[in-house]
Amino acid sequence: MSIPAAIPVPKQRMPSGERRAAIVNAAIKLFSQNGFRGTTTKQLAQAVGVSEPVLYMHFATKSELYSAIIETLAERGEQLRSMAARADAEKLDDLAFFRQLAHLLTAWHREDPSRIRLLLYSALDGHELSEMFYQRQVVPFLEVFAAHIRKRVEEGAFRPVDPLIAGRAFCGMLGQYVQSIHVFGIAQSEQEQQAALDEMVHIFMNGVKK
């Protein structure tokens, strides 16, 4: 009985780029769980499945790796912006648009909770790239939102609210709720979450419309 050829034996030797990506992914996971200082290079090497010096072939120092993962995550944050922009282009009515954005934001963080945790960790650490992370992860989403509000205010459908403040208000409600789940560990069932989001969307809608 021959062993089928395709057993995916974990590759021991990898092309440089792949290995680098593997390190970044492991680092995102560990740093988001334990923080930068709470993660040792030894742990990290074990998680990647290599020895410590391999890490230093790809990144000169541990904090260079920290910077690399923040940049990686910031880039991925562009996805959120484009998804939000796409929702805006769909010409949904206000309610559907707000619900769509709420869903986007929660799904985004549920799919990978390490993002919000690392965003907070890096901000608390005062990391030099933390502002860039915030600018590319949070602000774009907020801007798509604010742009929609501005338009609807001009069209006379909404009260003359400040679009940016209104955007902060909406994203704040959602963001804090997401945070209480993924950072503070408040347990919420799928239904509870859906109900909460709907209610928040409604409160906001009624709050801004004429």
Q: Which residues bind a copy of itself (CB under 8 A)?
A: 35, 37-38, 117, 120-121, 123-125, 130-131, 134, 159, 161-162, 165-166, 168-177, 179-180, 183-185, 195-196, 199-200, 202-208
The one-character DSSP state at 13 is S
> What is the Cα–Cα distance from 122 to 197, expressed in whole angstroms?
27
The distance from CA 35 to its chain's CA centroid, rounded to whole angstroms, is 16
Binding-site size, DNA (CB under 7 A): 22
b (16+ CB within 10 A) / e for 173-186: bbbebbbebbeeee
Contact partner, 169, from a copy of itself, DNA, none, Cβ < 5-8 Å per class: a copy of itself
**63 near DNA (CB under 7 A):** yes
Contact 94, 157 (CB under 8 A): yes
**47 near DNA (CB under 7 A):** no
Reported for 92-95, long-range contacts at CB under 8 A and 24+ positions apart, including other chains, are 94/152, 94/157, 94/205, 94/209, 95/201, 95/205
Contact partner, 14, from a copy of itself, DNA, none, Cβ < 5-8 Å per class: DNA
Q: Which stretch binds DNA (CB under 7 A): 60-68, 123-131, 137-145, 156-164?
A: 60-68
Contact partner, 104, from DNA, a copy of itself, none, Cβ < 5-8 Å per class: none
CB atoms within 10 A of CB 87: 21
Interface pick for DNA out of 29, 62, 76, 168 (rule CB under 7 A)? 62
Residue type, 125: D
Contact partner, 205, from a copy of itself, DNA, none, Cβ < 5-8 Å per class: a copy of itself
**60 near DNA (CB under 7 A):** yes
Contact 106, 197 (CB under 8 A): yes
Tell me which residues touch DNA (CB under 7 A): 12-16, 19, 39-42, 49-54, 56-57, 60-63
